[in-house]
Structure 1
């Protein structure tokens, strides 16, 4: 083996750790960038335009939706919708296969999905005692409080509060209370 061949072999042996290091740094940087992007609302509709565009548009642009008030407070989607790997895989497979249905508004048709007190009152979110205090004697009616229902824990937050759709005065299924602006109300007694 000549001197130039030996020198070339030595340079090659010295370069591989640098190449491996550069590739490792690139992979870590790409992974970190993906993790940051994954946390943003735009991630969902960048991948799954149908049906996620509707949700992201509401998050950013529809001031009548509760989700938009969360956006104004810099609360991201994943702060409420905690990502679990098995759920994300199932959602990805459903999207890839087209195995999901949407309603007339373009929202995913789901059953059994609720936002309950445990979800809405976790650390850093809503303090339920403060919510109850703020809605005491609702609309000037002594003893009426939609957050201290005679139905107890049978009522989830999402019975009334529609994060991605119009909120609904569930109490008015039986009662006839004042309805917040922009909310829907069923006819009392139905």
Structure 2
């Protein structure tokens, strides 16, 4: 009689294990999609980025958070990159600047990244900045340099934005931005 009872329990035990593993996997995946995942695992250097995303109203990252855009909407999670980043973190093979941000990030925000479906419409952005600062013909999004510069030359998602044009010109600088002059 005891042998029969054991044979009836194994499907229930296996079923429970499968459900628990599936729920844990789904929970982990949902957590992986959240900004808090990055700094829960890799406190240094990710704390600064996540704190800025949630708390620093001067950063473009915070404007994205306010709009409901998550980190992974811009930073596509590729398994090979995540493994390389994880190994780099474990080895301590990265450097941070005086503010605690990564010294060499390597991610540039270009028009292809920023104007993909569901994000920014470049024609609308350019139209909104026509005659910048009341100066006819001035438009920082219709630069005479064309594609030689990209969005991140000026827009700092995780750092103070920078009025790149003012390396040569003297245009109005938005509040909270830095200017080379």
What TM-score do you get using the length of structure 2 for normalisation?
0.98
Structure 2 unaligned spans of 5+: none
Using the alignment, how far apart are the partners of 1:28 and 1:111 within structure 2?
34
Deviation track 1:121-152 (CA, whole Å, cap 9, x = no partner) reads 11111111100000001111111110011111
Deviation track 1:41-62 (CA, whole Å, cap 9, x = no partner) reads 1111111111111111101111
Q: Which moved more, 1:108-117 or 1:126-135?
A: 108-117
Are residues 1:113 and 2:141 paired?
no
Are residues 1:102 and 2:96 paired?
yes
What TM-score do you get using the length of structure 1 for normalisation?
0.93
Distance 1:40 1:111, change over 3 A: closer
In the alignment, which residue of structure 1 is the partner of 2:73? 79
Q: Shift in Å at residue 169 of structure 1?
A: 0.3
Are residues 1:41 and 2:18 paired?
no
Q: Cα RMSD (Å) of the superposition?
A: 0.8
> How many residue pairs are counted as aligned between the two chains?
181
Using the alignment, how far apart are the partners of 1:25 and 1:154 within structure 2?
53
4+ long deviations beyond 2 Å: none
Using the alignment, how far apart are the partners of 1:111 and 1:72 within structure 2?
24
Using the alignment, how far apart are the partners of 1:61 and 1:113 within structure 2?
22
Please identify the structure whose Cα radius of gyration is greater: 1
Deviation track 1:21-71 (CA, whole Å, cap 9, x = no partner) reads 100000000000001100111111111111111111101111011100111
Are residues 1:26 and 2:20 paired?
yes
Q: Shift in Å at residue 109 of structure 1?
A: 1.2
